[in-house]
Each structure stands twice: as structure tokens, then as C-alpha cells.
């Protein structure tokens, strides 16, 4: 043990550059691995911790009306279900609404509760996290705390067709209704403001049902059953609901994206580190053949020599892993801040032993395996053979690029000779660049489809976007449509309304109705089969179809408003709003289950039209017939800005990380090459080769593997990136991605990658200046 | 009247050794002539190799000038010296120093293609030189590790001559060879000298030194004396005695 330790220490001292490079690579892998594990092993559990702490409900339902009759029916229905553990009914008001948020708008279904009532609920507690001394105003979920929305400032909330200005009194945490991702957003008013809103009549009275279940996993089915019972009893009643599974997933989309990317990058960096370690060990054995032979001659066993290498690399690995894990704790608060901007649930950074141990185990295990597999060849070294002449590593079978016949210029020909005789170098460069190509293609994809223009991302995640959405009562529909047809600012208007239906024997589905799907902007909404044309047709989410074994051509029974009808599945969609529980009907198809009471119309307006002014004009023109208007553009901007910021940070971080990795890997390879070829370079210098020629020759020798791996990497990654993204986003219901792969960006990034690598090799090769032919002669 | 090929004026070279300056060459004034086979002799540590490195542009002097023709090479930077070496000099090393990863032919052509772009002519010339040193076509395809010591050194000589240098520097060219192969190498060098090639050779071997026409004796970094042996002739049996007497006089 002591002898092996001495050899390991001597090896580390002799190869400081190699040691630093391996430490940096392992450190980066440990950093990413630990961050990923912290996010995936503990961060998500934070939702459950808060859920337990707030004694939160598993199913929330907000139903029109708070009369004794309604509440009595709800109590009986809930109590009659044996899955109910406990429940609470609260009087509230509810309405669709908006308020300014992040340079855009927050748009959602608001549930208004009086402060005292909200604070004393036995189920679904809330926690005030910030509060001023104000006694009259509004409390908002802490997610919406921004520079503009702060305690003491005023916020204008559109409630249905009215606008109300409140002073912000404070912020609170609510686990099931604390974000736009929850379907329901809780808004707490002081008593005076609550009563004022009641008097105003813009938000109808409602009952908020909060139900805790004996078995949490039943939440989806329970929600569907409860809504089905309510709609059977009160056809066409307005209600909105959420449940544990949907809320816990949708509040953690950013965490899922971020941890997915971190895991991918962590394993890429680890792969590169392992390739570098293997390459180093093979090179070490070749260069130190005589030394190893001498040690064997002195009586060292192969096992001791292999163990010394294991000891050397494991020491470095654990040192680097400890530093990397330490840095991950320094970075975690920043990651946490980004995550909270989307989850809206506070998280306290604390020491997590399990992710640390898993990181250490993964890194230690993979490095040990790599070292053992690469160093096994030490067993084959015979001391006498090694001491006499070393083991010939040159292949005498082939003289690559014979100068006598090649037409290539001398520097290029000599560079190619080096390339062709350096399989290990080429493999290391190839694997590194292949891995980094995927990072580059991913960065390009996100830049093009999220950061520069979010439309493709929105088409995939949101489904359909337009400029404005106006919800009108069906009685006013004809007049509204005539107005839209006659208004020159309206390019296109079409019915696009969402409501809930139930799959009989299955889950609650979010149904989207359209009078004519050929009018919608996102024709990729159905990616297999076709949009529904006839009243007996339905398109369902691919994820739901897969989970339930439905195929195109199958029948599915849907219930709403107390009626059940069978529909023929004619295609698959993948809207992720409801995490893969969606369906599409024609209006006529839906109205087999009951008539619409409200109809939302999506409008495409001429460029330059002031959407807010247009919406206001329509509200004034149609008065109470317009339920609500939404500026879709600003609503999306408000929510999307969080994702754009997150993605921008991820893209910049991955590109910087790529540059660091390339630099360190090339540093190690160039250093190894210069050490191995010091004698050759000395000879060439003595023959009259200049330093510039040798630097060029060295740099050119890296080019074939660089060019080929980047070309192959970019081509393959461009082809597989969409399927990979679909795999990655499967959790939120996406099964097929159609992101635009930016060929121009990829080509430019590929050229940039190669140029960067070329310049890096040139710079790293400057050490050739120090190789003097005199030193060669002095060796004699 | 002989033509001066290379000339030094007050050439000095010092090395710093743990803070102490070690003066290896001291104010050497020397002229080397075209067509001469100059041999530099001296005891170990006299500065023979240091003088050879300085003369050949492998190293730069601490003080003094070295002039090749009309060009002062002692002022050149490392790239300038590289250009000088490739254009005017050939080298034969004691340890041979062929590049392991290249075939024999490629070792020679890698030096030749630095100067000439006429590959066809270069290959023809290389083959002629190989023939002259008795390196077969088969051997030309081999790698250095597959050659005997004598073969490798003869390949080294071909590489040194491929660019028709004005001067060939040889540093103990037989030092690593056995007696027979050493003799072959000396015959090769002598043969090229007889065809007009200027050669400067460092050696401490009398048998090798006898091939030169001009012997310089170096002691403590200074040229202590020189001896003119005249043109080499295999039958000149007085030559060895004359050199012995000179070396004895120098304190060898």
C-alpha cells in the first residue's frame, strides 16, 4: 500500500498539467452531477413537504354558486365517495382574470377568498410570507412578487370584464393555488375589498371544495368523478379544478428541464473525463514502459502497479468531486432563485448527503472501472523486454502518407502522418467533439426556438397562439362574429374554447373546441392522423392514448354535463398545458354532450393593431356579453420571460462549459503530444523546420478528427435532436418535437468550434518554441 | 587561396551553472574553408560540441560574431537560424536521430522538401545518394527501428546531404557504432568530401580524425593549435603518426 502510494504520488508530481486537467474535468462532472441529483432527489420533494405542512388538498374544485343547496349537494357527493379522507367547503368568488406581470400579463382562473376565511381553513392553509401594515387591499401568491408588484404598490386586476385597482398588502404561499400553472390561482382580499367585489358583481359567488384523499394516487380519477357528478346534477355549470398530480408536475416544469439538461451535461463531461483518463493511462504505459519494466524487475507486482494508478486517479477524483460538490452548493442558491421564479415554492438550500454520496459513488466507480480497464495491459509487460528496448508501439506495417507519393504540402503531409498514427488522440478528440456537438445543436435549437423566437416552443407547449382571445356569451355570438367579419383590423377569427370533459372510466381531459380547425394558426397541433371534421370525431393526446392503449380508429366514451357519447379517434395531439390529458372536438362534436354557454374566439389582428385598445373597444361595444378579453401576446410574454431567462442562462452556461472542456482536453492532448514528440520536433528543428511550421503541423494534425467528429456530430445531432427532445419532454405530454433545427447556426457553430479548437491548439503548441535543437544534442 | 566559408570573431559561449558563469568558449577567432574536412578534437569538456552547435546555428553565442559568407548568423533569431540551417547545413548526429514514425525515404524527403519543391528530382537525388551509401530500395521502405546502427547512420548522412549543403556538421558520427560500421560511415563521409563537400566533424577518435585535412585542437574553450594533414589518402601511412605527434604536442 505504501509503495503504491509512493508511485502514485510520484506520478502526480511528474504530470502536473495532466493532473490539473483531470481535476477540472471531474470537478465539472461532480458539480453538474451533484446539482442534478440535488434537483431531482430533493427539490421535487419540497412540493410534498409544503403540501404536508399546509395540510393541502389533493383535489380542488371551484363551482359556481354558494347557496345551501349547492353546498349540501357538494357535501353529500364528497362524503359519499369512500376515497374522501376529509374535505372543506368555502364560500368564494371566482372568475377568469388578468394582471400585469413580468412585462406581460398573468392570465388565469382566479379564486377570491376573504383573508380571515383563507387563513383559518383547515385544509389548504396558506402562509403569509411578506406583509406590510396595510389593512385594505390584496394578497397575491409570492410567485408574482416583482419590482412592479410589491407591498404598498397598486396592481390593476382585470376580473371578467371589469378592472379593479388594489393596493398590495402582502404575499403568501399556497401549494395548490399559488401559480398560473395550478389552473386555479388564489387571490386573497381584505374584508372590505372582498365585500366591495361582492357588491360589484363582476365575479360570481362560488364554492371552493378542498378534498384530501385516503390514497393520494386516486387524485386524477377522483377529480374526474367529482366533476362528472357535479355536471350531471348541474348541466352547464361553470367550474374549474386541479389535482395533486397535475399541480405537482406543472409547478416543476423548469426544475424538470433544468435537471434534465444538467444530467445530460454531467454525463457528457464524465464521459469526456473517462476518455481522457483512459487515453492518459495508455500513453503513460507506453512512455514509461522501461520504468514499469524496472519496477517489475525490482519486484513490484502488476497488481501493485495497477493499484498505484487506481490510487492516483481515485485520489484526484475524490479531491475534484469534493471541490465540485462544494462549488455546487455555492451555485445552488442561484439555481434555486431561477427555479423559484417558475415553481413559486420557496426552497431552503441545505446540505444533502444522499446526492453527495451518489455523486461520489458514480464518479469513483466509473473512474475506477476506466483506470482498471486501461491499466490491465501492465500485466503483459515483461521486465526484460521492457528494459531492453521498451515495447514497440509503432506499427511497421504502414507508412502513412508516403512523402514520395503524396501531393499534399509538406506540413500537411507530416500533420496527416501524426494524425494517422495517433488513434488514441483521434478517439479522444472525436468523442469530446461528438459530445460537444450535441450541446451546440441543443444550444442552437433553444436559441432559435425559445430565445430568438418563442413561437415554435409555444406551438409545442401551449398549442395554439393568436393575438387576442375574447370570450362572449353564446347569445351574443352572432353579433360578435358579424362585427369581427366587418372589422378591417381582424385578419381571422375562430372559435377556440377550452373546457373539461371526462373520459368514462378514465381521467379528466381538457377539451379544446373549434368550429373549423383549418383556421387555426398551429396546423402541427395534430401530428398524426387529422383534425376532427365530423361531430363523432375526437383527437386525443398521444401520451394519454399510449397510457390507455388507444389507437387511431378506436372509440372512446366521453362524458360532460351529465351525458355520455362515443367518439372515433381520428388523430393524436400533444398539447402540454394539461400534461398530456387533452382532446380536440369540433363544436358540433362537443355539443352532443351539451350546449356551450360561453365561447372564446381567437383573433389574428393586423400588424400594428393595439391589442389592448382593440379588446377594450370590444368590451365597450358588447358590454356584459363579453366575459373576458385576453391579450394573448402579453400573457405569453409574462409567463415566457421566465423560460427565456432560464434557457438563456442554460445556453450560455453550456457553451462556456463546452469551451472550457475543449480547452482542457486539447491542452492535455497537445501536452502529451509535445512530450511524446519532443525528440522528433528537436530533430525537425535541427533540419531547419521553423517553430511556426511545427505549430501549424501540430494544429493541422488535430484537424481531421476535429473536422470529422464535428461534421458527424452536428449532422447526427441535428437529425436526432427532435426525437431526443421529445423523449426529454415526454413527462409533460410531448411525444413528437418539430422544433426548427437552425442549420445556419449549426454550421456557424461547427465552424466556430473547429476554429476555436484550431486556435486553442496553436496557442497550446507555442511551447514548441522552447524545444531547442541544442537540447537534443545535449541528450547525447 | 582558399575561400572562407564560415568565420568567427571573438566567439564566446557561457552557461550559468547554479549562479556561476561557466565560460565554455573563449574569444575564438576561426575561419573554416570551403572544401575542407575540418576536424575538431579535444579532451572531454573542452567545448568541442558547443563550438559545433554555435558554428552550425544550432545555438547562439554569448558574445562575438559568426559570419557565413557575408551573412552574420549570430544575430539571427531561432527561425532565422532554422532557415539558415535548412539552406546551408547538413547534420550527422552521434545518436543518429531519425524520426521513428517515418520510413527511411520519408526521413530523407522531410528534410529535402523543406528546400526543394521538385519532388521528382528530389526522389531521384535521394535514390542516388542511397545507392552511393549502399542502402537498398528495400531498406528505404523500412522504419529506423528496423535498421542496423551502420545503416541508420548512413541514412543520416543521406539526409544531411539531400539539400546539397555547403557544409556538413558531424558530431561524433561513429561514436555509437562498432568498429566495422564506423569505418563504413567514415568512408562515406570521406567519399563525399572527395567530391568537394565541406565537412566539420567533432571527434575524439584518432582513426576518425585522420580523415580530415585540417585538425583543430580545443582546450579550455580556446583553440590551442591546428595541424594540416593534407588530403586524405588511404595509403598515407605517415598521417596517423603526424596526427599523434600533433596531439602529443597539444597535451592529448
pLDDT confidence of A190, banded at 50, 70, 90? very high
What angle is formed at CA B178 by the lines to CA B174 and CA B181, rounded to 5 degrees? 70
A87-100 burial, b at 16+ Cβ within 10 Å, e below that, comes to: bbbbbbbbbbbbbb
Q: Is there a domain that residue B182 lies in?
A: yes
A763 and A703 part of one domain: yes
Contact A211, A58 (CB under 8 A): yes
Within the 67-126 window of chain B, which residues sit less than 8 Å (CB to CB) from chain A?
A: 78-79, 82-87, 89, 91, 93-95, 97-103, 105-106, 109-111, 113-115, 119, 123
Q: Is there a domain that residue B62 lies in?
A: no
Closest residue of chain B to A685, computed from CA coordinates: B82
Q: Is there a domain that residue A400 lies in?
A: no
Contact B70, B62 (CB under 8 A): no
Q: What is the pLDDT of residues A558-572, one digit of tens each?
A: 998 888 999 999 999
Contact A590, A558 (CB under 8 A): no
DSSP A659-687: HHHHHHHHHHHHHHHHHHTHHHHHHHHHH
Q: What is the pLDDT of residues A46-55, one digit of tens each?
A: 999 999 999 9
Contact A166, A158 (CB under 8 A): no
Give the pLDDT score at A577.
66
Q: Is there a domain that residue B69 lies in?
A: no
A527 and A594 part of one domain: yes
Give the pLDDT score at A189.
96
A262 and A246 part of one domain: no
The reply to whether residue A683 touches residue B99, judged by beta carbons under 8 angstroms, is yes
Q: Is there a domain that residue A292 lies in?
A: yes
pLDDT confidence of A596, banded at 50, 70, 90? confident
Q: Is there a domain that residue A759 lies in?
A: yes
The reply to whether residue A399 touches residue B93, judged by beta carbons under 8 angstroms, is no
A130 and A232 part of one domain: yes
Q: Is there a domain that residue A628 lies in?
A: no
Assess B146–A contact: CB distance below 8 Å, yes or no: yes
Give the pLDDT score at A79.
95
A246 and A267 part of one domain: no
Phi first, then psi, for residue B33 (nearest 5°) are -110, 150
Alpha carbon distance B113, B76 (integer Å): 23
Alpha carbon distance A195, A197 (integer Å): 5
Alpha carbon distance A192, A198 (integer Å): 10
Residue B153 structural domain: 33-48+76-214+226-250
Give the pLDDT score at A478.
92
Which residues on adjacent β-strands are paired with residue A155? A166
Domain boundary among the residues A206, A233, A250 is at A250
Contacts of B143 in chain A (CB under 8 A): 394, 396, 399
What angle is formed at CA B125 by the lines to CA B121 and CA B128, rounded to 5 degrees? 140
What CATH number should be reported for the domain holding residue B112?
A: 3.40.50.300
Average model confidence (pLDDT) across chain A: 88
Give the pLDDT score at A516.
93
Is A780's pLDDT higher than 50? no
Report ipTM (2 d.p.): 0.89
Chain centre to alpha carbon of residue A620: 42
- Torsion, Cα A644 A648 A654 A659, to 10 degrees, reads 160
A488 and A598 part of one domain: yes
The reply to whether residue B86 touches residue A410, judged by beta carbons under 8 angstroms, is no
Q: What is the pLDDT of residues A502-535, one digit of tens each?
A: 898 888 888 999 999 999 998 888 989 999 999 9
Number of domains in chain A: 4
Q: Is there a domain that residue A379 lies in?
A: yes
What angle is formed at CA B36 by the lines to CA B233 and CA B156, rounded to 5 degrees? 85
Give the pLDDT score at A203.
87
DSSP state of A84: E
The reply to whether residue B85 touches residue A414, judged by beta carbons under 8 angstroms, is no
Q: Is there a domain that residue B70 lies in?
A: no
Q: What is the pLDDT of residues A651-678, one digit of tens each?
A: 898 888 888 888 888 988 898 888 888 8
> Chain A residues contacting B, CB < 8 Å?
392, 394, 396, 399, 402-404, 410, 414, 417-418, 421, 679-680, 682-692, 769, 772-774, 776-777, 779-780
Alpha carbon distance A330, A733 (integer Å): 34
A79 and A187 part of one domain: yes
Mean pLDDT to the nearest integer, A111-131: 92
* Below-70 pLDDT ranges, chain B: none
Domain boundary among the residues A250, A278, A303 is at A250
Percentage of chain A lying above the pLDDT 70 cut = 96
- H helix or E strand, kind and range, residue A572: strand A563-573
- The CA distance from B90 to the nearest CA of chain A, in Å, is 7
Q: Is there a domain that residue A401 lies in?
A: no
pLDDT confidence of A354, banded at 50, 70, 90? very high
Give the pLDDT score at A720.
93
Closest residue of chain B to A390, computed from CA coordinates: B145
Residue A749 structural domain: 412-462+636-780
User: How many A×B Cβ pairs under 8 Å?
Assistant: 103
Number of domains in chain B: 1
A193 and A269 part of one domain: no
Give the pLDDT score at A397.
61
Contact A702, A429 (CB under 8 A): yes
Q: Is there a domain that residue B56 lies in?
A: no
Contacts of B145 in chain A (CB under 8 A): 392, 394, 396
- The CA distance from A388 to the nearest CA of chain B, in Å, is 13
pLDDT confidence of A390, banded at 50, 70, 90? low
Q: Is there a domain that residue A623 lies in?
A: no
Percentage of chain A lying above the pLDDT 90 cut = 46
A112 and A256 part of one domain: no
Contact A309, A8 (CB under 8 A): yes
A507 and A655 part of one domain: no
Give the pLDDT score at A778.
53
Q: What is the pLDDT of residues A400-418, one digit of tens each?
A: 889 888 888 888 999 999 8
Assess B158–A contact: CB distance below 8 Å, yes or no: no
Q: Is there a domain that residue B208 lies in?
A: yes
Contact A697, A771 (CB under 8 A): no
Q: Is there a domain that residue B66 lies in?
A: no
Give the pLDDT score at A506.
82
Distances (CA, A) of A731 to A44, A260, A543, A650, A739: 14, 11, 9, 20, 17
Domain boundary among the residues A194, A223, A250 is at A250
Q: Is there a domain that residue A55 lies in?
A: no
Q: What is the pLDDT of residues A280-304, one digit of tens each?
A: 888 888 878 878 888 888 888 888 8
User: Could you tell me how many helices (H) and strands (E) chain B has, helices first?
Assistant: 9, 10
Phi first, then psi, for residue A21 (nearest 5°) are -60, -45
Which residues on adjacent β-strands are paired with residue A628? A471
A703 and A580 part of one domain: no
Question: Burial level of A504, CB count in 10 A (0-12/13-18/19+)?
Answer: middle
Across the interface, which of A414, A687, A776 has its CB nearest the CB of B86?
A: A687
Q: Is there a domain that residue B38 lies in?
A: yes
Q: What is the pLDDT of residues A199-248, one digit of tens each?
A: 988 889 999 999 999 999 999 889 888 988 888 888 778 888 899 988 98
A281 and A241 part of one domain: no
Alpha carbon distance A691, A702 (integer Å): 17
- The CA distance from B108 to the nearest CA of chain A, in Å, is 10
Contact B114, B86 (CB under 8 A): yes
Amino acid at each position: 500500500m505504501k509503495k503504491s502510494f509512493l508511485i502514485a504520488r510520484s506520478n502526480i508530481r511528474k504530470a502536473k498539467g495532466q493532473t490539473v486537467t483531470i481535476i477540472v474535468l471531474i470537478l465539472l462532472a461532480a458539480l453538474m452531477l451533484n446539482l442534478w441529483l440535488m434537483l431531482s432527489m430533493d427539490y421535487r420533494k419540497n412540493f410534498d413537504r409544503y403540501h404536508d405542512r399546509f395540510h393541502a388538498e389533493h383535489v380542488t374544485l371551484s363551482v359556481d354558486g354558494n347557496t345551501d343547496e349547492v353546498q349540501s349537494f357538494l357535501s353529500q357527493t364528497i362524503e359519499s365517495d369512500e376515497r374522501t379522507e376529509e374535505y372543506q367547503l368555502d364560500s368564494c368568488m371566482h372568475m377568469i382574470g388578468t394582471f400585469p406581470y413580468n412585462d406581460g400579463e398573468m392570465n388565469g382562473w382566479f379564486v377570491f377568498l376573504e383573508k380571515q376565511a383563507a387563513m383559518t381553513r383547515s385544509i389548504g392553509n396558506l402562509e403569509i410570507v411578506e406583509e406590510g401594515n396595510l389593512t385594505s387591499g390584496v394578497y397575491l401568491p409570492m410567485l408574482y412578487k416583482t419590482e412592479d408588484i410589491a407591498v404598498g404598490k397598486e396592481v390593476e386586476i382585470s376580473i371578467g370584464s371589469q378592472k379593479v385597482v388594489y393596493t398590495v398588502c402582502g404575499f403568501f404561499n399556497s401549494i395548490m393555488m399559488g401559480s398560473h400553472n395550478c389552473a386555479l390561482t388564489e387571490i386573497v382580499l381584505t374584508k372590505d375589498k372582498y365585500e366591495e367585489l361582492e357588491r360589484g358583481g363582476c365575479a360570481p359567488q362560488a364554492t371552493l371544495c378542498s378534498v384530501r384523499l385516503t390514497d393520494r394516487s386516486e387524485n386524477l380519477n377522483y377529480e374526474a368523478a367529482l366533476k362528472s357528478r357535479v355536471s350531471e346534477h348541474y348541466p352547464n355549470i361553470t367550474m374549474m379544478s386541479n389535482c395533486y398530480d397535475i399541480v405537482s408536475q406543472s409547478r416543476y416544469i423548469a426544475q424538470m428541464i433544468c435537471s434534465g439538461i444538467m444530467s445530460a451535461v454531467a454525463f457528457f463531461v464524465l464521459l469526456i473525463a473517462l476518455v481522457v483518463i483512459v487515453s492518459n493511462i495508455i500513453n503513460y504505459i507506453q512512455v514509461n514502459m522501461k520504468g514499469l519494466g524496472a519496477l517489475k524487475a525490482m519486484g513490484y507486482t502488476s497488481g501493485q502497479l495497477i493499484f498505484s494508478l487506481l490510487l492516483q486517479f481515485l485520489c484526484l477524483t475524490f479531491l475534484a468531486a469534493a471541490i465540485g460538490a462544494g462549488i455546487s452548493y455555492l451555485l445552488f442558491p442561484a439555481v434555486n432563485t431561477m427555479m423559484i421564479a417558475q415553481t413559486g415554492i420557496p426552497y431552503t438550500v441545505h446540505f444533502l448527503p444522499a446526492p453527495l454520496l451518489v455523486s461520489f459513488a458514480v464518479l469513483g466507480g466509473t473512474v475506477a472501472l476506466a483506470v482498471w480497464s486501461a491499466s490491465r495491459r501492465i500485466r503483459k509487460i515483461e521486465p526484460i523486454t521492457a528494459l531492453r528496448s521498451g515495447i514497440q508501439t509503432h506499427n511497421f506495417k504502414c507508412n502513412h502518407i508516403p512523402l514520395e507519393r503524396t501531393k499534399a504540402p509538406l506540413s500537411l503531409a507530416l500533420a496527416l502522418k501524426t494524425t494517422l498514427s495517433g488513434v488514441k488522440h483521434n478517439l479522444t478528440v472525436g468523442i469530446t467533439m461528438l459530445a460537444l456537438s450535441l450541446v451546440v445543436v441543443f444550444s442552437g435549437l433553444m436559441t432559435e426556438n425559445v430565445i430568438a423566437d418563442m413561437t415554435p416552443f409555444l406551438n409545442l407547449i401551449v398549442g395554439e397562439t393568436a393575438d387576442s382571445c375574447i370570450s362572449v356569451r353564446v347569445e351574443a355570438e352572432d353579433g360578435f362574429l358579424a362585427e369581427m367579419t366587418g372589422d378591417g383590423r381582424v385578419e381571422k377569427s375562430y372559435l377556440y374554447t377550452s373546457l373539461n370533459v371526462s373520459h368514462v372510466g378514465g381521467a379528466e381531459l381538457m377539451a379544446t373546441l373549434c368550429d373549423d380547425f383549418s383556421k387555426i394558426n398551429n396546423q402541427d397541433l395534430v401530428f398524426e392522423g387529422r383534425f376532427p371534421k365530423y361531430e363523432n370525431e375526437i383527437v386525443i393526446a398521444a401520451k394519454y392514448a399510449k397510457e390507455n392503449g388507444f389507437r387511431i380508429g378506436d372509440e372512446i366514451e366521453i362524458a360532460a354535463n351529465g351525458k355520455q357519447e362515443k367518439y372515433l379517434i381520428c388523430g393524436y395531439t400533444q398539447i402540454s398545458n394539461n400534461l398530456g390529458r387533452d382532446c380536440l372536438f369540433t363544436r358540433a362534436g362537443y355539443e352532443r354532450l351539451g350546449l356551450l354557454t360561453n365561447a372564446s374566439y381567437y383573433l389574428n389582428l393586423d400588424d400594428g393593431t393595439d391589442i389592448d385598445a382593440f379588446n377594450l373597444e370590444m368590451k365597450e361595444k358588447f358590454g356584459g356579453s363579453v366575459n373576458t378579453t385576453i391579450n394573448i401576446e402579453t400573457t405569453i410574454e409574462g409567463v415566457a420571460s421566465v423560460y427565456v431567462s432560464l434557457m438563456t442562462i442554460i445556453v450560455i452556461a453550456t457553451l462556456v462549459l463546452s469551451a472550457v472542456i475543449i480547452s482542457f482536453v486539447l491542452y492535455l492532448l497537445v501536452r502529451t503530444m509535445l512530450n511524446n514528440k519532443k525528440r522528433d520536433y528537436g530533430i525537425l528543428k535541427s533540419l531547419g523546420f521553423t517553430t511556426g511550421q511545427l505549430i501549424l503541423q501540430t494544429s493541422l494534425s488535430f484537424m481531421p478528427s476535429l473536422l470529422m467528429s464535428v461534421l458527424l456530430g452536428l449532422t447526427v445531432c441535428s437529425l436526432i435532436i427532435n426525437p431526443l427532445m421529445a423523449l426529454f419532454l415526454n413527462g409533460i405530454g410531448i411525444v413528437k418535437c418539430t422544433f426548427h433545427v437552425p442549420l445556419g447556426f449549426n454550421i456557424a457553430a461547427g465552424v466556430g468550434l473547429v476554429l476555436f479548437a484550431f486556435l486553442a491548439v496553436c496557442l497550446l503548441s507555442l511551447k514548441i518554441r522552447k524545444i531547442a535543437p541544442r537540447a537534443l544534442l545535449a541528450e547525447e | 587561396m582558399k575561400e572562407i566559408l564560415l568565420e568567427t570573431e571573438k566567439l564566446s559561449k557561457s552557461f550559468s551553472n547554479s549562479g556561476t558563469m561557466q565560460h565554455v568558449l573563449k574569444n575564438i577567432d576561426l575561419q573554416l574553408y570551403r572544401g575542407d574536412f575540418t576536424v575538431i578534437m579535444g579532451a572531454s569538456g573542452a567545448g568541442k560540441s558547443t563550438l559545433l552547435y554555435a558554428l552550425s546555428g544550432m545555438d547562439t553565442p554569448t558574445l562575438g560574431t559568426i559570419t557565413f559568407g557575408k551573412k552574420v548568423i549570430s544575430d539571427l533569431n531561432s527561425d532565422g537560424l532554422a532557415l539558415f540551417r535548412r539552406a546551408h547545413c547538413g547534420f550527422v548526429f552521434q545518436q543518429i536521430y531519425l524520426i521513428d514514425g517515418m520510413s527511411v525515404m520519408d526521413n530523407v524527403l522531410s528534410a529535402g522538401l523543406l528546400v526543394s519543391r521538385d519532388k521528382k528530382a528530389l526522389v531521384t537525388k535521394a535514390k542516388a545518394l542511397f545507392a552511393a551509401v549502399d542502402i537498398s530500395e528495400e531498406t528505404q521502405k523500412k522504419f529506423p527501428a528496423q535498421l542496423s546502427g551502420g545503416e541508420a547512420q548512413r541514412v543520416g548522412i543521406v539526409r544531411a546531404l539531400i539539400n546539397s549543403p555547403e557544409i556538413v556538421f558531424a558530431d561524433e558520427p561513429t561514436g555509437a557504432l562498432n568498429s566495422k560500421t564506423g569505418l563504413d560511415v567514415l568512408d562515406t563521409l570521406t567519399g563525399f568530401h572527395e567530391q568537394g563537400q565541406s565537412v566539420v566533424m567533432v571527434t575524439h577518435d584518432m582513426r576518425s580524425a585522420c580523415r580530415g585535412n585540417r585538425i583543430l585542437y580545443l582546450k579550455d574553450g580556446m583553440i590551442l593549435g591546428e595541424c594540416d594533414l593534407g588530403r586524405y589518402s588511404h595509403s598515407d601511412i605517415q598521417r596517423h603518426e603526424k596526427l599523434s605527434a600533433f596531439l602529443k604536442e597539444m597535451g592529448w
